[in-house]
Structure 1
Amino acid sequence: MRKVAVINHDFSGFTGSEIVTLEIANYFSSRGCQVVIRAERYSDVYLPYLAKNVTISDVRIDVTDFDVVWSQHGHFALNTDNLSKLKSWNGVYIASHLSSITPAEVYHYPFSAKYAGGIIFNAEQVEKSLIEKYKPRGVICNFKNAAPQRFHSNIARRPDNLKNLLIVSNHFPAEIEEALRILQEKGVNYTHLGVKGTAKLIDPCDVQSADAIISIGKTVQYSLVGGCPVYCYDHFGGPGWITSDNFYSAEVQNFSGRCTPYKKNAELIADEVLSGYKFARDYTENNIELFQDRYNLEKILDDFLRKVEISGCGNNIRNQEDIDQVDLMRGALCHVGWIWHDVFLKDFKTQFGGVNDLLEEKIKALQDERDALVQKIDNFNLLHPSWIVHFLRSPWRVRHWNRIRRRQRKSKAHRLAGS
């Protein structure tokens, strides 16, 4: 049985990268693999959704213990307990990139491009934007944020009159909230999943029970493969009903709404939802075969991994310079504040049941543990704290950062000799 690691920064809420983590882990399980999910922040919220042979690790793993490593947010480097073993590791390193904008996705792309055997993107715009910066060495795939086959459905035709709306949003912009009040007055009921609504993972039953959906991102693919018309709009704006007029331009931007980045008022949204429903319903139902073929997650991943295997190169980590670069990226990750924000607080709650219940001596003990960890992180520090700013601006300058790395080691040796 092949061992697979799926690594993400978070696995504690219903956000995009976390849902991708779940679906990728369950995909590998369906292919007969033993899967371990590792995240710096995690909770038991996903336990009911994990497939057979999928577990969550509460400690960092060593990537060399696995046959396949699927890494998001650059955490491949953070899970390298024994760097020396990387030289002889023949496993497959897949780097997943879900945005070309957010720092958590962008900063590690040059590292992925150089060392990953396969790089996968969720949208054409993400792929194009990142590849322009640095051409990857591994196999490339745009998986279009595809939907698992359990969402693919050919249910009966939806009604002529819109009655039941499903809103899936963690942002719930004010104009949507007001538009829903207008729609309620006209006899349209709605259910809201997400922040300010019901906190749950969307499932095929939610899609099948709705006449239409208002959302962005991955929910759009869920809707289309389920034959449900979708009004694409959220905090970035959006084109409205997905039809032949905007399908491809919206897909390029991962149905984020950025293809038409302007806000609409509540009255216009309500009017568009009612007047455009039938046309959007017909378009979606008439093209369901196209959508189900285009957004078939299992088929896309099977083809992608087959190409990586045929390439004969699962990763490009070969020599000491490569090992130094992995070490450099690991040090960079330990410096970035967003990794460690509230991790300690979560640990406190897990161990003691709530911050309010902590006794002073327990707080003192935890602070001592934190100080020890900070000291451990300091072992990665380069010559000056400002290096991280420059590193994030130009991480692809590998030779430059390796020179700094060698200077760091020499400086450490002098300090240790004098202590």
Structure 2
Amino acid sequence: MERKNVLFTVAFLNGYHGSVIHVYEWARHLVCLGHDVCVTCINYTNAIQKLFVTSGIRVYKTNEISQKKSYDIVFAYHFPIITYLLSFELIECRKLVLGALSPFEPLESLPLFWERASLITVVSQEVLQKTLSKIEVPHKQIRVFENCVPNDFIFYETKLNSNKPRNIGVISNHVPEELRRIRNYLPASTKVVYLGSDEKNCSLVTPQTLSQFDVIVSIGKTVNYALCMGIPVFEYDYFGGCGYISTRNFDLELMTNFSGRASQRHCPPPN
């Protein structure tokens, strides 16, 4: 396979949230295939930079780029970054792939020059529909690339502890109040652990992280991880959620990337 020079753009590498992990997993995969991969962003934390660099992915701040460089492929997320790089002629590329990971975040909008893209990727049918409602993208130019799951999760041996969950993992960067109170309604023997950017436990979600729990309460990528490991998932977060993912609701929830927006079912805590 011919070695390619690949660039990813993303606004911030400042935490273990969706866009960061999405770019990290794709970039790491391309490194494993033998390609030369780097990422540019507005800013980063030392911990996230170290995560990328340890995996063979170089990281640059966008404002530190001073010389024009050519890339075989650019995967562009968060349109201001690619707009800046192209406007000031800091990069050129043979293939430009524009990506959108959310239907409502302004940073996820496509740039005005979207017609120049070799391909546009969206993470769900929901994002596809929202995108097509705003701009007339030819169907051959846009594809749904659902959240990927690294082999680490797929081939990890998981042993479910019991039919009655004793260890519940709430994995969220924005825990709603009703999930804060679930300890009040569970047996004393049931342990609830909160993992996320606002918690004491904040780190990259790995198969080892998930394997310690009998049930995962989360949305988005973590749902994909847990399902591939065979761990029951209760879909719920600040958008609400459908509850347990099953064969009855899987297809519907997948369309909105297991975000909870399909049902928007909220369970407010009792007064």
So what's the TM-score if we normalise by structure 2? 0.88
Aligned residue among 222, 225, 228 for 1:225? 228
Aligned residue identity for 1:72: Y
Which whole-Å CA distance do the structure 1 matches of 2:56 and 2:195 have between them?
Answer: 28
Corresponding residue number in structure 2 for 1:38: 40
Are 1:155 and 2:166 an aligned pair?
no
Gap runs ≥5 in structure 2: none
Aligned residue identity for 1:117: S
The aligned length equals 261
The alpha carbon displacement at 1:45 in A equals 1.4
Q: 1:109 and 1:254, CA in 2 relative to 1: closer, same or farther beyond 3 A?
A: farther
Q: 1:116 and 1:191, CA in 2 relative to 1: closer, same or farther beyond 3 A?
A: same
Q: 1:241 and 1:10, CA in 2 relative to 1: closer, same or farther beyond 3 A?
A: same
Aligned residue among 83, 105, 110 for 1:77? 83
Q: 1:154 and 1:148, CA in 2 relative to 1: closer, same or farther beyond 3 A?
A: closer
Indicate conservation of the 8 Å contact 2:73/2:93, yes or no.
no
Which whole-Å CA distance do the structure 2 matches of 1:61 and 1:73 have between them?
Answer: 20
Which whole-Å CA distance do the structure 1 matches of 2:167 and 2:83 have between them?
Answer: 46
Aligned residue identity for 2:9: I
Aligned residue among 188, 191, 215 for 2:190? 188
Q: Which of the pair has more CA radius of gyration?
A: 1
SS at 1:136's partner residue? coil
Which whole-Å CA distance do the structure 2 matches of 1:226 and 1:60 have between them?
Answer: 41
So what's the TM-score if we normalise by structure 1? 0.58
Instruction: Indicate the larger mover: 126-135 or 68-77.
Output: 126-135
The alpha carbon displacement at 1:69 in A equals 0.5
Which whole-Å CA distance do the structure 1 matches of 2:102 and 2:67 have between them?
Answer: 26
Gap runs ≥5 in structure 1: 268-419
SS at 2:203's partner residue? coil
Corresponding residue number in structure 2 for 1:254: 257
Q: How does 1:6-405 map to 2 (within 5 A)?
A: 6-50=8-52, 52-58=55-61, 59-60=64-65, 64-74=69-79, 75-80=81-86, 83=89, 89=92, 91-106=94-109, 108-112=110-114, 114-137=115-138, 139-153=141-155, 155-158=157-160, 159-183=162-186, 185-194=187-196, 195-266=198-269
Indicate conservation of the 8 Å contact 1:63/1:76, yes or no.
no
Indicate conservation of the 8 Å contact 1:123/1:252, yes or no.
yes
Which whole-Å CA distance do the structure 2 matches of 1:266 and 1:236 have between them?
Answer: 15
SS at 1:120's partner residue? strand
Q: 1:213 and 1:61, CA in 2 relative to 1: closer, same or farther beyond 3 A?
A: farther
Tell me the percent identity: 25
Q: 1:54 and 1:189, CA in 2 relative to 1: closer, same or farther beyond 3 A?
A: same
Indicate conservation of the 8 Å contact 1:62/1:82, yes or no.
no
Corresponding residue number in structure 2 for 1:376: none
Q: Quick check: which one's helix share is greater?
A: 1
